[in-house]
Each structure stands twice: as structure tokens, then as C-alpha cells.
Structure 1
Amino acid sequence: MLSSPRFTMRRRALAAAGTAAALALTLAACGSSSDSSSMPGMDHGSKSSAASSPSATASMGDMPGMDHMVAGNGLSDTQDGYRLTSSDQSLPAGKQAAYRFTVTGPDGKPVTGFAVDQTKRMHFYAIRSDLTGFQHIHPTMAADGTWSADLASLTPGSWRMFASFTPDNGAQKGKDFVLSRTVTVPGRATKTPLPAAAGSTEVDGYTVTVKGELMAGMAHPLTVSVAKDGKP
């Protein structure tokens, strides 16, 4: 996905360490929900984004919704009076499930007014603790402010659920938020160690190369190049 000036100015180095690594990999268009629960492929719907340059190099400035991490590190369920609440502390393994949640405002009431960000009022992410599972969902909201994110099959283990949004009214109107909670998927969980840091990798005959150095506390571009058989 190519950077736009608006998001490039707002973006900061993601503070959530390993989570940031997973989030930065999302280069697909933001028009439909993901059906992937495992990192390889990260199917992001039927439409994919294409680079506009012949070299097939795209800027990683825009993770849909997650430029909001500038407002915090995304690892808390509460910020500036807003709270992510959910009665779902666990979800079943091996089958589709809905995660239901509500965002309450400083007055303690459910928030129902959200600004549109990249065509959606809410961006939702489910990420496994060892980064081997990743889903990007566009949940639906009921009239009472309850959101429902329809997740694909989850593997056993600990997952963190991120809600990225911008209130459309109230004292914090226009401010970007990322709030999150953890969920346990029962069953025998096997953690997969993260590979050593590298600037490139090969998957199914494709070579993906990342260039650029992240710097804490400031915006900094990364570029991604995709090649096959040595050709862009």
C-alpha cells in the first residue's frame, strides 16, 4: 500500500515490539476482511493492492488503522477515558468465532459515533503472541454500540485483540486510539520461535526485501520489494 502524506505525517515507529513486526507486514488493500489465522499468505480478501512503480516497490507507511499507534503503544484497554470492554475472555479453537466488544467513552456509555478511516469506522486485529497468527477484520456495530468481529479459525494459545478507531464526537473527537485486550484459545499451544532479524526472505519462489531503518519516536519510511526469479 502506498503512503499518503496524511498518514506519513502521523505515522511513528510502532512501539509494540513483536506486534509491530506483524502489523508492518500488512500491505494488502483494506477493502475486505481477512480469512487468515496463520501468518503465511495473510489473505486479506479478494482484492490486493498493486505497486504503481515498475520495480514493484511499495512504501510501508500505511497499516490501515494502525497509524493510530501514535496515540499510544496499543497494549492497554484504556486510554484518555476510553475503554475497550468485552465479556469474551476465551474463544474456541479450530472453528470460526465472533469476538464481541464495546468501546465506552469518558461518560461510561458505549460510543456509537466513529470517524471513517480508510473506508471503515473500525479496524480490528487478532494477533497470536508468537506472531504465527494474524487476522485483520472490519467488524460490524449494532445500534447499542456492540461490535462483532467474525474471526476465522484460531489456534490454541494467547491472542491479543486490537481495536483501532477515531471518535467522531465528544472531547476526543478526531483523536486516534488503539486499544487491546488478550484472549485465550484453549488447547495444546505450541509457541514458534521468531526467526532472526533479516532484511529479506524467500517464500514459495518469491523474494521479499525490506529496506530502511526504524527510529524510535519519529516517522521513518520503509520500502518493500518483491521479486521472482530475480525479476521485480
Structure 2
Amino acid sequence: MKRFEYAGLTKELHQRLTLEFDALKEQHRRTLTKYVMQTKQCDRAQARKYCQRFDNVIKERSKLSPATLDDMSEYITDGLVNDLQEYLAENYFSSSVKFRPDTDKRNAGLPEELFKQYCEEIKSLKAKYPNSFTAHIMDVKGCKYQKATSIRTAINTLYTEMGIVTPRKVIQLEGLLSRELFGKIAKYVFNKHEWPESLDSEVDRIYLEYRTKGDRGLNKESVKRTLYKAISMGL
């Protein structure tokens, strides 16, 4: 089996990641799959897939990708998540498509005006909840502390332009921004980025819930893209 040295990371980053996952496994000895089911709100089969992907990175059977990091971010510390995000943004190459992904993090990958509005709303939220921002996220999202911490990390990563807004991060932001701004960001990101099949239902739900009257019909970019993909696949 092919080995990917340090899972495509530096030795130090991989060691830190390994140590944190070893601690997680020790904490949830024989119940890690069940714990992932609870935190990801998924069935056992999907939880096992998550665990296998994480284990492949730890055992250097695959490289750590941005998508896998997104999935594992709620199980590791904020500091490590930020360091890994920064490293991948500068060094990750997709072996499947043979090109370096867009790593321009200016304005978190958003149009300048949208990013300014995002920063203004996040700044207001932090001012309103100076000592209880994570608790506020827990209330809004109806999630536990660890999940809220992961969302807070994503928010700060975008706010400081250390990462870009992806479809997964859009889902994390729902309920924390004004409806108007969230709808604009969701539309922009969903039309610009691809997402894994596991997010299809959430993306569809958000698009339908936040769409505007002008978005309906076949002129919508995401509809065009879906039709194009279907045609190209012979469906």
C-alpha cells in the first residue's frame, strides 16, 4: 500500500494531529464510532467512513485534504485546526485534478462588499456576546460545545482571511448572520464551489429556503451547472 509521508503535512503537524487523535481514541475507547454518530448526527455506516478517513490520515495511507480537515475539525483543538488550514491553503495539491486549488484568501474568497458586511455582522455579534460567543452559537445551532467551538473556529478563520468560504462553512454560518446577508453569501458560494454528495440535501434546503424571486427557473447558475453535469454524464 502506498504511503504518504506525514499525510502530506510537516512532521510536526502530523505528530500533533496523531497525538490529539490518540487522546480522542483513549477518551472514547471502543465507542469512537458511536461518538462520531452523535456529533455528526449520522448512521453507523457513515460514521465508520469518517473514522476510516481520519485513520488513513493518521496512518499515512492518504494525504490530509481540506474536506477531510473540515470533517475532523470538531475533534481537534482550535489551534491545530488553524495551523492545518494555513498549511493546506499554501501547500495542498489535488492529485485527482493535477492543479493547485484557488488559495487566494483575500476577503475569505468573497466579493469585497460581501466580506465587509460579513465582518461588520461578526464584529457586532462578538461585541454583543463578548464572553459567551460560543454559548450563543450553541443556542442558535442547537449543538453541543465541541460543535460550537468548531463553528467559532470557522467564523474566525474567515474573519481573519485565513481561509475561504466553502459550502460546508456556509452551512455552519446559517442562523448566525442576517437572513439577507446569509442568502447572498450562500448563493455566491454555491454557484462558485463544488461540494461532496453528503452535503447535497443541506445545500438544496438552504438554496430553496433563501432563494429570491429572481432566482427561480432555468436561468439560475446552479441549475445550469446541474443540468450541464447531468448531460455530460449522459443522464
Q: Above 0.5 in TM-score?
A: no
- Scaled by the length of structure 1, the TM-score of the pair is 0.25
- Structure of greater relative contact order (alpha carbons < 8 Å, 6+ residues apart): 1
Larger helix share, 1 or 2:
2
- Scaled by the length of structure 2, the TM-score of the pair is 0.25
Larger strand share, 1 or 2:
1
